[in-house]
Structures are given as C-alpha cells and as structure tokens.
Amino acid sequence: MDTANTLISWYRKNKRDLPWRETDDPYFIWISEIILQQTRVDQGTAYYQRFIIKFPSVKKLAAAKESDVLKLWQGLGYYSRARNMHHAAKEIVNNHQGVFPKTYDEIRSLKGIGDYTAAAISSFAYHLKYPVVDGNVYRFLSRYFGIKTPIQSTAAKKEFTEIAFELMDKHSPHEFNQAIMEFGAIQCKPSSPDCNTCSLKDSCFAFGNNAVTDFPVKTKKLSVRKRYFYYLVVRDKQSVYLQQRKERDIWQNLYEFPLIETSKKITDSKLLEGTEWKSIFNTGEVVVRRISEEKKHVLSHQVLHAKFIELTLANADIVIPKNWEKVRTKKVKQYAVPRLIDKYLEEETEIYS
C-alpha cells in the first residue's frame, strides 16, 4: 500500500475548509501557524481573520505598536508568540527588505520560529521538501508504526521527522504534509479515533494489536505550580489603577490590576494585615468595598487562584507606587490584558464599558 497516496486521497475528500489553505502567501501561512500553536482551529480561525484584516502585510505588522498586537492577541494565551511574531516582522523589514524569506534556514532564523513552523512555511508556501511534524503527526505515526519512543524526548523528534520524510510524496510535499496533519486531527484523533472507517487500518500496528490507546507514548507529566494572586482594584467613580507586567514571566507586557502574590493561600484578614499590604498603603487609609470569590485560572503548567479586592482610597495621603497607571474606567478595555482580567471586566461590564 502506498501510504502517502492513501493519505492524500483521503485528504482531498475529507479536508476542512480553512482560510489559510486558500493561499500560498508565506506571511499569511506564518500568521496561521503561530496562532494555531497551542490553539484549537475553531478558536484560532476568528483570530486569524481579524489579524490579517488589521495587519494585511508584514510591513503593517512591523510598523504596529506592540500594545496593539497584544490587544488583538488577547484571549489566545502564550503571549510570547505575539511578541516574537512582532519582532520577526521587524527583522523581515530591516534585514530582508520587507520580503518574506524563501529558504528554510532563513525562515528558521527568525525570532519565534522553530523547526516545525519553518518546515510548515517552507512546505505550504514554497513546496519545499520538509516534513511537518506536529502533535497530530506524532500520534498517527506512533500508532501506525507502533513507535514506543516517548514523543517528548529528544530522540523522538529526529526519529519521527525521518519517518515522515521517508513517507512523504516528493512530488507534492505540501499536500502530503497537509494530509498527514489533517488525518491525525480528524481521523486518528487523540481519543475515540474512528478506526473502523480508517483506510489505513489494515496496515496499522496499533489497530492490529488492539493497542490504539497505548500510543503515542508520553513521559511523566510535569508538576503544576500553584500561585495565589490578590488583585488590588483601586477605583473611584471614574478611574482605576493598572500596572504592566515587565518581568520575564507569564503575560509579559500585558496590563493587570496591581497585585499581591503569595506562595500559599491566605485568609482575607491575613492579607489585609500583612506586611506587603501595609507597605503599599502605609501613608493613608483605604476602604475595602468587596472581596470577590476565588477564581481559578489554568495555564499549561500553572494554576492561578485569584481574588479581586475592590477598594477606594479614604484620603489623598497615600503615595501611589510609580508603576501604577491611573486609567479612566471607560478606557480599560482598550488595554491588552490577560484572559483572567478580561473575565473580571466582563463581569463588571457596567463599570468598564
């Protein structure tokens, strides 16, 4: 059986109608690939459409303010993707005269572009013979060939890439790459794959050995870090304070309310009597209006437990920290904020809109 032709034949009959498949423009393909990292296709499609309307060319993206890029990205998470993409756009304008690079090595050298994304752009835009190996491809190949190498390992990357290259239809590498990725996404799914209708089941190791759920093999999960955020929503009738996250941590360069972070969960009274609270409000009095229920926000390897402490300043004696920015409540939604903050703003929509 010619596996490549079977995959391509299946793809032509079953592929989803996705906007980035209608173009060979490397810029648009790049935008789609970055958005779809760690993002579901149904969620990513709307972001892709908005992004190419707002920034229809690499030059437009390079000329944009980072805050505007992050605002458009808001809700997708993994904000380093957006920052790196913005940086890479400037590289293309400054080092490549605004023309997207045409070789794998040049594409790979751009900020935020790894082996997978470089291969995807090279293949889909320029039809170069580079296998595109994503999670869907790892899953299909591991099941089909019975590969027991843990997919997070360094050895797996080389092994799976070599196998994908051997399988690849060298006359139509771009279509083969689309086909094998799509096959993994909607036929050879992570859970409950439709093996009975699979055109490759007769030669599939996992199906033949009743071992579909055993693949792909994964190493132990990383431990999840718990963090406790106590947001200080210092507000009057018309304004509220925000601060920008500058550290190399989650949500770098996004805005949020000032906060006190603790390594363990503490009671409300302990928070209000703590040294950090007193160091912030040591020159005057504040009135705590409300303390929200705890809100849980799950990231890839972190779980955030957040509370919003709504308060007003009782007098003008308090010295506001220099990194706090006073913002009109009606303009808060113009700032790029993490999804956790955005959800809070949605709940308090009467105040912030």
State the catalytic residues. Answer: 33
Q: List residues bridging with 327 in a β-sheet.
A: 240
The DSSP 8-state label assigned to residue 235 in this structure reads B
Task: Give the C-alpha separation, 12 to 82, whole Å.
Answer: 32
Measured CA to CA, the distance from residue 110 to residue 115 in angstroms comes to 11
Contact in structure between 175 and 169 (CB atoms under 8 Å): yes
Beta strand 225-234 with 302-313 is parallel
* Structural tokens at position 252: 């770098």
The neighbouring-strand residues paired with 296 are 305
Alpha-carbon gap, residue 196 to 264, rounded angstroms = 50
Q: Is the dihedral of CA 267, 268, 274, 280 positive or negative?
A: positive
Residue 14 CA to residue 184 CA, distance in Å, equals 12
What string of DSSP letters covers 195-231?
A: GGG-TTGGG-HHHHTT-GGG-S---PPPPPEEEEEEE
Is 139:215 a contact under the CB 8 Å cutoff? yes
List the beta strands (DSSP E) in the chain: 225-234, 239-244, 255-256, 259-262, 286-291, 295-298, 302-313, 325-328
